[in-house]
């Protein structure tokens, strides 16, 4: 019968055969009985129960499955092995149940599913592993995308994968945008429109009304590299860049080429009210009786001022002679079938804003009714 090995003899053999022990990677705490009866040891991650024979034979990294307190052991191991976990990019929500079993982690956007094996390998859970993908993506976009935060868009199709775009909708149409672009604060805008022609047409109809026919926009591929084909109801087809037309500063070139003299004949400064009304009634360019407040910004000098006036033409036609020099922003329009009400509204606004009178640097008809700031209602 062979002599029973003592703990000191086991420790001596362990020192000889196991470099990990010699290096101080673990210590033996439990009482040694024999090689096939588990003994308690401790390393920097926690306490384990292993058979002495396994330690002597393998001298390998101890597994979490041998830990006495598996969850605590795994957390300590993860703190060393996973930089994202160490840096606080996510935290563990559920307990360790096995190296390949599902474990729940949480980052600043929500909860995700992973496995201890993947986490120890340094892998960060993907969005598709989120417990609630819709909520998770919502939280991402709420932090990173201004268009999404504005609540101007409805999500039609949520995230389904890195190579599949999300689908958004607003009053103009549908848009396809990849999540990684949205995270970079990419705008949900015309280049991503599902049907660019319909989208542009809806925008122009809102901005310009039915002044022009936009039926030729079907099938357009871009608004940046080619001009739009637009139909003037008087002069026919003309081409124009989208952004020039959309802002309202540009329209049909033939309409815009009406000379300043001809326009002034129809709506001159200093006319008597009766002459102005009579001229409106016989004008082929009559649109409606209106009083307006417009902000003008000089395209070269950035000078800006506010113009108060009245016209029976379209705003574009009224300012045809200076459209090329200024960007226009229409702030206020008062329209009425009774021209006297329109005249009185203009007089009211001119009187209200008289203390803020301003003389623009450029010369144009109506420059004497301009202001540095303006009040209107």
* pLDDT tens-digit series, residues 321-352: 676 788 999 999 988 877 888 899 999 999 99
The span from the CA of 373 to the CA of 230, in Å, is 36
318 shares a domain with 234:
no
pLDDT at position 261: 39
323 shares a domain with 235:
no
76 shares a domain with 49:
no
Tell me if 233 is assigned to some domain: yes
Q: Are 258 and 320 in contact (CB under 8 A)?
A: yes
15 shares a domain with 43:
yes
269 shares a domain with 231:
no
Q: What is the extent of the structural domain holding 143?
A: 133-192
The span from the CA of 232 to the CA of 97, in Å, is 72
pLDDT per residue as tens digits for the range 155-185: 999 999 999 999 999 999 999 999 999 999 9
Tell me if 267 is assigned to some domain: yes
262 shares a domain with 249:
no
Q: Are 299 and 244 in contact (CB under 8 A)?
A: no
Q: Find the helix packing angle between 339-353 and 273-282, rounded to 10°.
A: 130
Q: Model confidence at 258, in pLDDT bands (50, 70, 90)? A: very low
Tell me if 199 is assigned to some domain: no
CA distances from 300 to 230, 295, 324, 373 (A): 28, 15, 11, 20
Tell me if 198 is assigned to some domain: no
* DSSP code at position 51: -
Tell me if 41 is assigned to some domain: yes
> φ, ψ for residue 20 (rounded to 5)?
-60, -40
Lookup result for tokens 């939280």: 139
Tell me if 376 is assigned to some domain: no
Q: Is pLDDT at 95 greater than 70 in this prediction?
A: yes
Q: Are 320 and 260 in contact (CB under 8 A)?
A: yes
The span from the CA of 51 to the CA of 66, in Å, is 10
Number of domains in the chain: 5
Tell me if 277 is assigned to some domain: yes
For residues 277 and 93, the model is more confident at: 93
170 shares a domain with 84:
no
Label residues 138-173 b or e (16+ Cβ within 10 Å = b). bbbbeebbebbeeeebeeeeebeeeeebbbbeeebb
36 shares a domain with 125:
no
The span from the CA of 259 to the CA of 62, in Å, is 91
Predicted TM-score (pTM) of the model is: 0.59
56 shares a domain with 16:
yes
Q: Model confidence at 63, in pLDDT bands (50, 70, 90)? A: confident
Joined tokens for residue 215: 């039926």
């Amino acid at each position: 019968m062979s002599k029973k090995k003592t703990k000191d003899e086991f420790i001596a053999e362990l020192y000889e055969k196991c470099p990990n022990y010699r290096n101080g990677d673990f210590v033996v705490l439990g009482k040694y009985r024999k090689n096939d009866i588990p003994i308690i040891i401790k390393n920097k991650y926690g306490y384990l129960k292993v058979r002495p024979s396994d330690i002597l034979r393998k001298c390998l990294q101890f597994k979490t499955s041998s830990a006495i307190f598996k969850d605590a052991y795994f957390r300590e191991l993860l703190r060393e092995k996973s930089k994202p976990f160490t840096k606080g990019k996510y935290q563990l929500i559920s307990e360790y149940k096995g190296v390949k079993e599902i474990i729940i982690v949480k980052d600043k956007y929500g909860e995700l599913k992973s496995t201890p094996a993947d986490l120890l390998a340094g892998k960060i859970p993907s969005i598709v592993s989120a417990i609630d993908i819709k909520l998770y993506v919502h939280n991402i976009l709420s932090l990173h995308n201004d268009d999404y935060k504005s609540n101007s868009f409805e999500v039609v199709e949520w995230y389904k994968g890195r190579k599949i775009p999300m689908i958004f909708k607003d009053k103009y149409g549908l848009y396809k945008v990849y999540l990684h672009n949205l995270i970079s604060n990419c705008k949900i805008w015309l280049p991503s429109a599902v049907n660019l022609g319909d989208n542009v047409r809806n925008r122009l109809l809102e901005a310009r009304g039915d002044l022009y026919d936009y039926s030729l926009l079907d099938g357009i591929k871009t608004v940046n590299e080619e001009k739009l084909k637009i139909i003037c109801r008087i002069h026919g087809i003309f081409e124009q860049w989208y952004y020039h037309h959309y802002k309202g500063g540009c329209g049909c070139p033939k309409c815009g080429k009406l000379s300043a003299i001809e326009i002034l004949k129809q709506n001159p400064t200093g006319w008597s009210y009766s002459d102005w009304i009579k001229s409106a009634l016989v004008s082929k360019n009559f649109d409606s009786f209106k009083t307006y407040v417009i902000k003008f910004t000089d395209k070269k000098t950035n000078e800006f001022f506010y113009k108060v006036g009245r016209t029976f033409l379209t705003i574009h036609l009224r300012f045809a002679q200076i459209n090329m020099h200024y960007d226009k922003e229409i702030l206020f329009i008062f329209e009425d079938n009774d021209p006297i009400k329109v005249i009185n509204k203009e007089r009211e606004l001119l009187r209200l804003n008289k203390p803020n009178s301003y003389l623009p640097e450029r010369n144009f008809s109506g420059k004497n009714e301009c202001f540095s700031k303006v009040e209107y209602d």
